[in-house]
Structure 1
Amino acid sequence: MTLSDQYRTEGCAVSFELFPPKTEEGIEALCLNVERLLQFKPQYFTCTYGAGGSSQRATLEVLKRVKEITNLPVASHLTCVGSTVEQLCEYLTQATEIGVDYIVALRGDPPKGTEEFCVTEGGLRYANELVELIRSNFPQLGIAVAGYPEVHQEAPDATTDLDNLKRKVDAGADIIITQLFYDNADFYRFRDQCEAAGIRVPLVPGILPVTNFKQAQRIAGMCKAAIPASLEVEMTRDDSPEHQFRVGVDHARQQTTDLMKNGVPGIHYYVLNRSEAAAELLDGLQTAGSAS
């Protein structure tokens, strides 16, 4: 099944994003959480890696384990940061050898301590160039790219950001997975803009169920996502872990049910290697897997 085919199923397709733990104990815990998430019949799992490619090898190890546990397709993140074209191709070769099915192709953030993205000599400058590289040299791999409902923090305006997204799609991307957002109105506005721009591939909203307000603030600051006033008021009303967890999960569940009612082809959950919040918000919902 191709990546775009994952979104031609009846119902709403679900996928989960992981990141590579630093210890063997962390990997074991991740595997347990993956097993718990299988009850929601996800279409695939993705795995990111550390800044500048610091945990690329661990990413492939995690994906290999996940594929063994689930027998599902898996996707690796891949960025242009710190890599030559030759190194990118080496990674893609290793990924295909262990059975990676899809790539989430990103330019990548500037390395920690720097403010601007710098092209590696012999490397790539933009994500659309990475998409072209994959499509030309590894045509069997599905390709996801990132979209930004609230505009990428480096883009001068929404029009420029949308033009950049269209270049990635025209280069051969199969689907778009969005940056997290807390207000569905931002996603619907973005969806309308993509439609008007002639972007026709599946647009998959990305949801992070936040379980404490400090986490929400930190992540919002990193990715330029606005926190709705109603969510801020409710989360700051009580700083107990139980209250914070419940409010965050309830908000993500409300986002999920509203997105499903409004016809999204799927939802990608950033689960931070934990299953509790995702399990709570998805319990009883009619996803693509539960509809089959």
Structure 2
Amino acid sequence: MTITEHISNAQSTLFSFELLPPLKGENLQTIFNAIDPLLEFAPAYINVTYHREEVVYHKGKSGAFLPKVLRRRPGTVGIAAAIQHRYNIDVVPHVICGGFSKEDTEDALIDFDFLGINNLLAVRGDADKITGRFEPNPAGHPHAVDLIKQIVRMNNGHYNDENIESATPTKFCIGVAGYPEKHTEAPNMANDLMYLKAKVDAGAEYIVTQLFFDNKKYFSFVESCRKVGITVPIIPGLKPISVKEHMSLLPRVFNVDLPEDLVRELVICNDNKSARELGIEWTIQQAKELKQAGVPSIHFYTMGKSDNIARIARAVY
């Protein structure tokens, strides 16, 4: 079932969550251990992220930063297939521009199609942590909208190899990311919404938001989207704070504001345990308000740990 079908058929707000693939050297049981505690809440779908290779830098003798190691979380295709087979729950693998040629993308999409995985989240991918710039594969896509167009072409039976005749159309339902407080690289919200609408016009069927801690930001974002003609479902994404460092880390990395009340309470937390408890309680209140407002689904960013998400869901669903 596609994500849009799940939403259309739902009688109330759906529950879903996102997982990170395990690092090299870890096994699939790590993923299953994160999923199992959340099964009681009947997740409609599970997202599996994908991140391009990460360059780790070190200072050379000249003082310049030099690349040291390439790190990648492998296995998204295999993990998505394993989850869908084991749990009979729809899986949404992330498909990114960064590090992939158009041929690489096509091969991955063919694998997903063969495996019966029909839902995707199409994203550009992160910028380099040192330079702050996104560098696409020279033979790949520079923007998510271009990736969406390739997926839509395959849905219409058109592959990169123009010599293929009577190609079988794929049946992918495409989701994209939205930013209630704008993307870090966007000059303003109006510009960000323009690009988001272009992705929807190209074929995206639903939007999942970046994390936020003030529901007013989400409601304002939805209203702004509707005003510019974006009519697809907009799913709020939530991430509970789990360590004190998040007070400075999350605003810097994700371009989000933390509400004054939340900051005030974080400051007086004695340790990470108390910060984690605060994060759980804050997210419970967020999720309750969103659910009461009738949002289509609430999507939780687990970062591979599900005990706090289970406590939140138990209080909300």
1:206 and 1:267 in contact (8 A); partners too: yes
Selected match of 1:131 from 120, 131, 148: 148
Structure 1 window deviating more from structure 2 (271-280 vs 115-124): it is 115-124
Selected match of 1:274 from 305, 308, 311: 305
1:19 and 1:49 in contact (8 A); partners too: yes
Selected match of 2:219 from 179, 183, 188: 188
- Give the deviation of 1:26 after TM superposition: 5.2
User: CA deviation digits over 1:86-130, x for unaligned, max 9?
Assistant: 111111112223332211101111234332122322211211111
Distance 1:171 1:280 in 2: 38
Is 1:90 aligned to residue 107 of structure 2? yes
Distance 1:140 1:95 in 2: 10
Instruction: Say which SS state the counterpart of residue 28 (structure 2) adopts.
Output: helix
User: CA deviation digits over 1:152-179, x for unaligned, max 9?
Assistant: 0101111110000000001111110000
Q: How does 1:198-213 map to 2 (within 5 A)?
A: 198-213=229-244
User: CA deviation digits over 1:124-145, x for unaligned, max 9?
Assistant: 1211111111111144011110
Distance 1:261 1:179 in 2: 20
Higher relative contact order (CA 8 A, sep 6+): 1
Letter in 1 for 2:128: P
Distance change (3 Å), C-alpha of 1:66 and 1:55: farther
Structure 1 moving runs of 4+ over 6 Å: none
Q: TM-score, normalised by structure 2?
A: 0.86
Distance 1:100 1:200 in 2: 25
- Give the deviation of 1:19 after TM superposition: 0.7
Distance 1:203 1:193 in 2: 12
Distance 1:57 1:99 in 2: 20
Structure 1 window deviating more from structure 2 (156-165 vs 119-128): it is 119-128
Structure 1 window deviating more from structure 2 (206-215 vs 36-45): it is 206-215
User: CA deviation digits over 1:219-260, x for unaligned, max 9?
Assistant: 221110111111111122122333112100000011000111
- Give the deviation of 1:78 after TM superposition: 1.1
Query: Which segments of 5 or more consecutive residues in structure 1 lack a partner in the other structure?
Result: 287-292
Distance 2:300 2:45 in 1: 11
Distance 1:199 1:214 in 2: 35
Is 1:45 aligned to residue 62 of structure 2? no
Distance 2:290 2:143 in 1: 30
Distance 2:315 2:250 in 1: 28
How many residue pairs get aligned? The number is 286
- Quote the residue 1:32 is aligned against: 33
Query: Which segments of 5 or more consecutive residues in structure 2 lack a partner in the other structure?
Result: 55-70, 156-169
Higher normalized helix content (fraction of residues): 1
Distance 1:169 1:87 in 2: 23
